[in-house]
Amino acid sequence: MGRLGSEEQNEQKARYHSIILNVDLSTGKIEKLAVPSEDLDKFVGGQGLGMKILWDRLKKPGVDPLSPENPLMFMPGPFSGLPVPSSSRTCVVTKSPITSPVKSAYPHASTVSYSNMGGFFGPEIRFAGYDGIVVTGKAKELSYLVIDDDKVEIREGKKFKGMRTDAFDKAILTELGDRRFKTVYIGPAGENLVPYSSILHTAGRAAGRGGMGCVMGSKNLKAIAVKGSGQPGVADHTRFLAALEKARSALYGSAYAKSWAEQGTARAIVANSNAGTEAVRNYREGTFLEAHKIGGDAARRDIWVKDIACYCCPLACKKSGMTKGKYGGIVHDGPEYETGVMLGSNLLISDMPGLLKAIYTIDDLGLDQISTGNVIGFLMEAYEKGLIDRGFLDGIDLKWGSVDATLQ
């Protein structure tokens, strides 16, 4: 990457900003770096460009994912911020702390990882004038980053230490005094370097896979807030509009898209159970006889109160549920396929309000839903087989299907 200002950069401007925001939390240095046009052409999308930057930045093998050298990147794609269906996704790219090869000469030498999240964060990065954010270094104290177009600040965030994500989501916007900021943040799990912690974004979106929250926690970075006033451009407006129309018409006419909009990924919970391919009882079985109690039809009937779209997505596949009774008092996203299966069928839980409460709690702590469901399923099996006892589990009676034990 080099400095800005060449004619080449102006040509690229029609498609990309050609600018990455680079923040070093150790030195406090904040700079805009130009992205070579060759990289933009060859490595398309947030994942592609993020991987190229990671390749350039990790100069030697064996860099510890939790060291200040490991860059944590938030990479939207070239369509992000434009009204292209399903293009609002953001790739969080880094070297992962959870895929270390056992007994390696480099115990922390792990694979690269990207985690893809929907919502509004990627488009806002583009509105602020960047094609991505790269964070390196480690802040001395818990901090957060505020990006308001060109104005970028690292702020001290000690008062937010230990705060769970639901409370923090509200607290940070109150602190900033402007609800137009879009935020990503970690919970207590990321702060405490739990390897499978996630980065959360408003309304239950998460970069859950690969230990992204753990890397963010290792940098003492609680949150990033971004707000922009610009717009990304396109190279050929007429052709862009024609392609957009075609993409939208294909979606609006499709039965698949209709079912996706109706139930999101939860549509697959019952179907996969019927096909015998569900994760059930810690992956020992493939069919859950009570799948119909936690599937899309049951959720639509019993708990879903709102369909939510990511930026400019006509599918609105995110579903927000509300529960009453013993596990009531929460409004949260879910179940989706992964959350419904890993915390439902995999643990033999068929109590819908209890399932939503478990999903909420895991997001609230800032843990990855899939890995957490795996760990609890593994422990339930070990408990069933007498390999561990209640003493090992701090007194928890971790029986299959128990919502209370899962919440504990």
Q: Among 35-43, 75-83, 288-296, 305-313, which window interacts with ligand SF4 (CB under 6 A)? A: 305-313
CA distances from 287 to 147, 275, 300, 341, 399 (A): 47, 7, 22, 11, 19
Show the site string, 264-303: x = touches ligand SF4 by CB under 6 A, - = not. ----------------------------------------
CA 348 – CA 381 distance, rounded (Å): 11
Asked whether position 200 contacts ligand SF4 by CB under 6 A, the answer is no
- Percentage helix, strand, coil, to 5, in the chain? 40, 20, 45
Q: Angle at the Cα of 81 (from 80 to 82), degrees rounded to 5?
A: 90
Q: Among 6-14, 42-50, 307-315, 398-406, which window interacts with ligand SF4 (CB under 6 A)? A: 307-315
- The helix-helix angle for 255-263 and 267-275 (nearest 10°) equals 110
117-146 residues in contact with ligand SF4 (CB under 6 A) are 118
| Tokens at 178, concatenated | 């402007």
Q: Among 8-16, 35-43, 309-317, 368-376, which window interacts with ligand SF4 (CB under 6 A)? A: 309-317
Asked whether position 309 contacts ligand SF4 by CB under 6 A, the answer is yes
Asked whether position 315 contacts ligand SF4 by CB under 6 A, the answer is yes
Asked whether position 318 contacts ligand SF4 by CB under 6 A, the answer is yes
Give me the sign of the Cα torsion angle 226, 143, 210, 22: positive
CA 28 – CA 137 distance, rounded (Å): 9
Write the DSSP string, 24-48.
ETTT--EEEEEPPHHHHHHS-HHHH
Q: Among 158-166, 170-178, 310-318, 343-351, which window interacts with ligand SF4 (CB under 6 A)? A: 310-318
Min. distance of Cβ 334 from ligand SF4 in angstroms?
13
Asked whether position 98 contacts ligand SF4 by CB under 6 A, the answer is no
Closer by beta carbon to ligand SF4, 88 or else 143: 88
Residue with tokens 């009676």: 397
Closer by beta carbon to ligand SF4, 70 or else 86: 86
Please count the residues of this chain forming the interface with ligand SF4, following the rule CB under 6 A: 10
SS3 116: strand
Min. distance of Cβ 318 from ligand SF4 in angstroms?
5
CA 337 – CA 270 distance, rounded (Å): 10
Closer by beta carbon to ligand SF4, 270 or else 317: 317
Out of 133, 299, 310, 355, the only residue in the binding site for ligand SF4 (CB under 6 A) is: 310
- The letter for the amino acid at 4 is L
Out of 88, 113, 143, 183, the only residue in the binding site for ligand SF4 (CB under 6 A) is: 88
Min. distance of Cβ 231 from ligand SF4 in angstroms?
19
Write the DSSP string, 235-290.
S-HHHHHHHHHHHHHHHHT-HHHHHHHHHGGGHHHHHHHHHT-S-BTTTTBS--TT
Closer by beta carbon to ligand SF4, 79 or else 383: 79
Closer by beta carbon to ligand SF4, 219 or else 318: 318
Beta 221-227 vs 143-148: how paired, if at all?
Answer: parallel
Residue with tokens 């039809």: 297
Closer by beta carbon to ligand SF4, 69 or else 262: 262
Min. distance of Cβ 314 from ligand SF4 in angstroms?
8
Closer by beta carbon to ligand SF4, 286 or else 314: 314
CA 17 – CA 13 distance, rounded (Å): 5
β-bridge mates for residue 332, sequence order: 321
Q: Among 101-109, 190-198, 306-314, 330-338, which window interacts with ligand SF4 (CB under 6 A)? A: 306-314
Residue ranges binding ligand SF4 (CB under 6 A):
86, 88, 118, 309-310, 313, 315-318
